């Protein structure tokens, strides 16, 4: 099977600190398969990558905050079909507000997960391990 090289993707990593549950990450469901993922989009010419991450967090997860430009990290990932490899750049986003309604609220679900439990929920186990390593 030949693997195709795909385009780079930008992802938001919405985080918050909960007094009782500790550091948490906001996950959303994918549109087609309903797997738990992080908000992800394509680079845009008129926006910085951190601005793209903020926009995706708003549109897909309904959370607002500022994405870090300095604390970003990359991860090599494959599409669900395993046919396309992509470079995913993640931007931690400190959430300051969670909206009741957002552009894709009728297409996706949202939930908060403790960072230590991320591997049990996120569809990409290697990505879950990388995020956990970066944040803890």
Which one is predicted more confidently, 55 or 69? 55
Proportion of the chain above pLDDT 70, given as a percent: 93
Q: In degrees rounded to 5, what are phi and psi of residue 126?
A: -65, -35
Residues 89-104 have a mean pLDDT of 97
CA 53 – CA 37 distance, rounded (Å)? 14
Beta bridge partners of 76: 87
**Distance between CA atoms of 66 and 118, rounded to whole angstroms?**
22
Read off the pLDDT of residues 62-76 as tens digits, 9 standing for 90 and up: 999 999 888 899 998
pLDDT at 52: 97
- DSSP annotation of 125: H
| HEC assignment per residue over 52-88 | HHHHHHHHHHCEEEEECCCCCEEEEEECCCCCEEEEE
pTM: 0.89
pLDDT greater at residue 89 or residue 83: 89
Confidence class for position 115, pLDDT limits 50, 70, 90: very high
Q: Is 65 in contact with 14 (CB distance < 8 Å)?
A: yes
């Amino acid at each position: 099977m030949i693997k195709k090289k795909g385009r780079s993707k930008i992802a938001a990593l919405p985080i918050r600190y909960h007094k009782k549950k500790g550091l948490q990450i906001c996950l959303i469901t994918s549109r087609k398969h309903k797997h738990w993922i992080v908000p992800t989009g394509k680079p845009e010419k008129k926006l910085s990558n951190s601005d793209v991450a903020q926009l995706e967090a708003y549109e897909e997860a309904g959370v607002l905050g500022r994405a870090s430009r300095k604390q970003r990290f990359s991860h090599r990932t494959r599409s669900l079909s395993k046919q396309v490899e992509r470079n995913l750049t993640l931007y931690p986003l400190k959430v300051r507000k969670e909206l009741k309604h957002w552009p894709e609220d009728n297409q996706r679900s949202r939930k908060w997960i403790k960072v230590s439990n991320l591997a049990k929920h996120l569809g990409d186990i290697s990505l879950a391990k990388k995020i956990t390593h970066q944040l803890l």
